[in-house]
Amino acid sequence: MTRFPGEDYINRVEIFFHFDPLLALVTFISSRMVHIFFLPAVLTIVVTFVLGRVACGWVCPMGSIQQFFSFLFKKTKLHRPKKLEDNHTVWKYYLLVFILVSSLFTLDLVGIFDPFSFLYRSFVVSVMPALSYSVSSFIGAIYGLNLLSIGDILVQFFENLDINAIFLQGLLIGMIFVAIILFNLSRERFWCRYICPLGAFLGVISRWNVLKLKINTEKCIDCNLCSLQCQMQADPYPNEKWKSPECDYCFTCSAICPTNAISFPGKMAPESIESIDLSRRKVVLISLLGILAIPFFRISPARSRASEKLIRPPGALPEAKFLQKCVKCGECMKVCPTNALQPAMAEAGPEGLWTPMLVMEIGYCEYYCSLCTQVCPTGAIQELTIPQKNNLKIGTAWVNKDRCIPWKFGDPCIVCEEHCPVSPKAIKFITANVEQPDGSIKSAQAPVMDMATCTGCGICENKCPVVDAPAIYVTSVGETRSDRNQVLLDIIQSGEDPY
């Protein structure tokens, strides 16, 4: 799990994503760029090519979770499989076709369905915050019982996990995750069998692998137990019907075979088994759908006109390029030390669902922090040094004089200016003479913005004592990454870097 013990450096926590050939492929296709950091994915491809989908059965964390709950549901007799007559395992191949075709036209949907993205996002946005919430109530109860030292130990332990506890779509993303788990009630490894596009991709390249199931026909008593128990619906019996692209090499069949008739001998001369039973007509149809989907995804104004609320993390590529690369994995949201990065809902259009944006009411962009730029697995957020980061704007702050304490009431408050991290400060003061209800005049120093030095970090909005709708707020306009989302003709960049 991603940790950041207070320093502005983080290990290569995103490396796991780089073993994912599907993320690599779709990112390459949709962004028209090849990245060397996806090199580890080659290893996965080679292993799968030679040994089949062993990674699905033995490495994939999503697979492990599916396996665990399938096991649990079976043990508790909650698992109620219906008769297996279907051939729904092909769904995932159609999904793969859809994702690949749409990525050809720069629509990057892989992040929604890729198992690593799905799992990491679900944990970051939902599972861990829920855990943190329940633990926090539990710890509260411990303190309530006056068990102070136990409480202190627990607090320290959970502080070390660095859980960001507040997320806008925690419930929705969590419900999807729970639903995927509950599907295991009807089919073991439901996700791996029917949905996983990465599994489908690995299935396609594993068709010629050398690890082939072999049933010793002399021993076999045709009991069909292996096919009934196969968690991936790979149909080990009869031998010639076995679907090697479905097999994740769990070896359950050989373990349960009453006569030990099943083995997986390595064969140097791989034989081709036609076992991905796709209908050509459907593949064409799905491809057409993949193409047709694109205009529908692009009807929204997100690409042409930026949403004021869509404040991307520093280092984010220009919006169109960003959307081609972001895989919605949630790494950046995990490392954000102030919990500011949140999954977008509609702010970035349908394509931008669950992409990261800063919500200043929850957190803000810490001045000397560049963690989110360090962890992005696809380069949608470019890695930045601190001086680079502090030289760019992610948005611009605005003072709402109707709500600001000095502007409205003539009372002193300098909280936004005090927190402004740039030097010289982007918030300056002028004197406000405010007429009071009784006609008298009160004077206070009141904040005004200096557009040239404001980076849009949002700490002013976050700390504003007008808590419900802060009297100073950040919008995306002026962000360095965009040519269009600008307000002033000429903004002088501060040359000297304070770092």
Partner 1 sequence: MKRRVFLKDIAIGSLLLNIHPKVYAQGTGSPDVALIQGESPSLITKEAITTLGGMQRFISKGDKVIIKPNIGWDRTPEQAACTNPEVVKTLVELCFDAGAKEVKVMDNPCNPARRTYVRSGIQKAAKSAGAEVPLPNDHHLKKIPIHGDSLKEWEIYSDFVETDKIINVPIAKTHSLSRLTLGMKNWLGAVGGNRNQLHQNLDLAMIDLAAFFKPVLTVMDGYRILLRNGPQGGRLSDVKLHKTVAAGVDYVALDAVGASFFDIKPEELRFLQIAKEKGHGEIDLEKLIIEKRTI
- Residue ranges that bind partner 1, judged by CB under 8 A: 4-8, 139-140, 143, 151-152, 155-156, 159, 337-338, 366-369, 405, 411-415, 417-419, 421-425, 429, 445, 463-465, 467, 496, 498
What's the distance, CA 235 to chain centroid? 34
Measured CA to CA, the distance from residue 159 to residue 130 in angstroms comes to: 15
Which residue, 5 or 265, has its beta carbon nearer to partner 1? 5
Intra-chain end-to-end CA distance of the chain, in Å: 30
Taking each continuous run of H as one helix and of E as one strand, the counts in the chain are 22, 8
Which residue, 97 or 335, has its beta carbon nearer to partner 1? 335
- Residue 404 zone, left/alpha/beta (φ > 0; ψ -120 to 50; rest): beta
Question: Contact at 8 Å (CB) between 183 and 81?
Answer: no
| Sequence-separated (6 or more) residues with CB below 8 Å from residue 225 | 256, 257, 258
Which residue, 137 or 279, has its beta carbon nearer to partner 1? 137
Measured CA to CA, the distance from residue 25 to residue 28 in angstroms comes to: 5
Which residue, 156 or 440, has its beta carbon nearer to partner 1? 156
**Strands 396-399 and 427-435, bridge-based pairing:** unpaired
Which residue, 328 or 419, has its beta carbon nearer to partner 1? 419
In the complex, what is the shortest distance from the CB of residue 135 to partner 1, in angstroms, rounded to a whole number? 12
In the complex, what is the shortest distance from the CB of residue 88 to partner 1, in angstroms, rounded to a whole number? 47
Which residue, 483 or 496, has its beta carbon nearer to partner 1? 496
In the complex, what is the shortest distance from the CB of residue 425 to partner 1, in angstroms, rounded to a whole number? 6
In the complex, what is the shortest distance from the CB of residue 292 to partner 1, in angstroms, rounded to a whole number? 46
- Residue 443 zone, left/alpha/beta (φ > 0; ψ -120 to 50; rest): beta
In the complex, what is the shortest distance from the CB of residue 159 to partner 1, in angstroms, rounded to a whole number? 6
In the complex, what is the shortest distance from the CB of residue 357 to partner 1, in angstroms, rounded to a whole number? 20
Which residue, 147 or 176, has its beta carbon nearer to partner 1? 147
In the complex, what is the shortest distance from the CB of residue 244 to partner 1, in angstroms, rounded to a whole number? 50
Angle among Cα 7, 11, 16 to the nearest 5 degrees reads 145
In the complex, what is the shortest distance from the CB of residue 12 to partner 1, in angstroms, rounded to a whole number? 20
Q: What is the C-alpha R_g of the chain? A: 27
Measured CA to CA, the distance from residue 464 to residue 434 in angstroms comes to: 20
Which residue, 245 or 447, has its beta carbon nearer to partner 1? 447
Which residue, 30 or 453, has its beta carbon nearer to partner 1? 453
In the complex, what is the shortest distance from the CB of residue 441 to partner 1, in angstroms, rounded to a whole number? 18
In the complex, what is the shortest distance from the CB of residue 464 to partner 1, in angstroms, rounded to a whole number? 7
Angle among Cα 406, 407, 412 to the nearest 5 degrees reads 5
Angle among Cα 188, 41, 353 to the nearest 5 degrees reads 65
Question: Contact at 8 Å (CB) between 387 and 425?
Answer: no
Helix/strand/coil for 496: coil
Tokens (6 digits) for 391: 């030289």
Which residue, 186 or 436, has its beta carbon nearer to partner 1? 436
Please return the burial class of 268, using the count of CB atoms within 10 Å of its CB with bins 0-12, 13-18 and 19+.
exposed
Q: Which of 55, 45, 46 is nearest to 25 (CA)?
A: 45
